Amino acid sequence: MALQVYISGKLFDKEDAKISVYDHGLLYGDGVFEGLRSYNGKVFRMAEHLDRLWKSARAICLEIPLGQAALAQAVNETLAANNIKDGYVRLIVTRGAGALGLDPNRTSHPQVIIIADHISLYPQEMYEHGLEIITASTIRNHPQALSPRIKSLNYLNNIMAKIEGLQAGCQEALMMNHKGEVAECTGDNIFIVQRGALLTPPLDAGILEGITRDAVLQLAAAAGISTAERTLIRHDVYTADEVFLTGSAAEVIPVVKIDSRKIGDGKPGPITRDLTARFHELTRQ
């Protein structure tokens, strides 16, 4: 059977899952989304993802046309319809179809889309041996232009940095903020280990409040590892003992080289490996 995609209350075969070319999600990137993971038939931190989706929508004055409980049920039903136990869910809310022109008031019917599928961002080999990344010259969106806290359908800022990474032969790129501080990667948050302490940029560095980031901070604290949200500069990353990235799609992935510089001894470090194991235990329990 073809993959089933949910659009505003109905399931469609993948080939027939279509929305209007007048949808402002397409015309202007006017909409919000979430990327969730399901492990063993259960969506990881569903409530947190829905909460963030609602906050993103609130930030762009978009009213989601159903409640959180109904959307959670639709997510579970879409996973079940596709018989997916371990997979990836892309949740999208667009502004809906309307007249040409930016005016969001000239649209009607926001579209709610749920894709349940599989995602593999990086080859397994990179989880074992670590990722090589670069720092992008494209800075993260200025928070006063478009808050990086909003997971909007306009990801060009991140895509520009991703292109820089790919052109340099890297799968990810580290983005600085408008103050020259470390922000995050194009689709992942960043952590460093410095003298046994786990450090990650604070939200006011202009980053997405990652749900995996929160989970890893909690796991580290519970494991007795000292943690802090601290402003970091490129120097801190270059001289870190360990670096890793977190995201719903990527989970926890070690970084062993940045801008061709070896991090630590060039191998995934002990705290990274320990937290990866703890994250696997948490998600696959």
Note the residues at the interface with ligand PXG (CB under 6 A): 35, 158, 184, 187-189, 208, 210-213, 246-249
Contacts of 122 (CB under 8 A, 6+ apart): 131, 171, 250, 253
Write down the least CB distance from residue 37 to ligand PXG, Å: 8
Q: Tell the smallest beta-carbon distance from residue 53 to ligand PXG (Å).
A: 11
Determine the Cα–Cα distance for residues 52 and 34; give it in Å rounded to an integer.
8
**CB 166 → ligand PXG: shortest distance, Å?**
14
Is-contact 211 152, C-beta < 8 A? Answer: no
Residue 244's alpha-carbon distances to 106, 140, 189, in angstroms, are: 44, 19, 9
Q: Which is nearer to ligand PXG, 97 or 243 (CB)?
A: 243
Give 231 or 267: the residue with its C-beta nearer to ligand PXG: 231
Nearer to ligand PXG, 56 or 158 (CB): 158
The tokens describing 65, both together, are 């046309």
Q: How far apart are CA 85 and CA 77, in angstroms?
A: 12
Query: Shortest approach of ligand PXG to residue 13 CB, angstroms?
Result: 22
- Chain position whose Cβ is nearest to ligand PXG: 35
Which of 163, 57, 60 is CA-nearest to residue 112?
57
Q: Which is nearer to ligand PXG, 56 or 246 (CB)?
A: 246
Q: How many helices (H) and strands (E) does the chain have?
A: 8, 15
Work out the number of other CB atoms within 10 angstroms of the CB of residue 139: 18
Least CB distance to ligand PXG at residue 120 (A): 11
List the catalytic residue out of 151, 162, 257, 267: 151
Tell me the two tokens of residue 228.
């802090």
Choose between 53 and 258: whose C-beta lies nearer to ligand PXG: 53
Q: Is 14 noted as a catalytic residue in this protein?
A: no
- Reference 34, options 7, 9, 55, 65; nearest CA is 55
Q: What is residue 40's three-state secondary structure?
A: coil
* CB 201, CB 229: distance < 8 Å: yes
Please give the distance of CA 6 from its chain centroid, rounded to a whole number.
21
User: Beta strand 189-194 with 242-247: parallel, antiparallel or unpaired?
Assistant: antiparallel
Closer to ligand PXG by CB, 24 or 213: give it: 213
Give me the least distance between CB of 106 and ligand PXG, in Å please: 29
Active site residues: 151
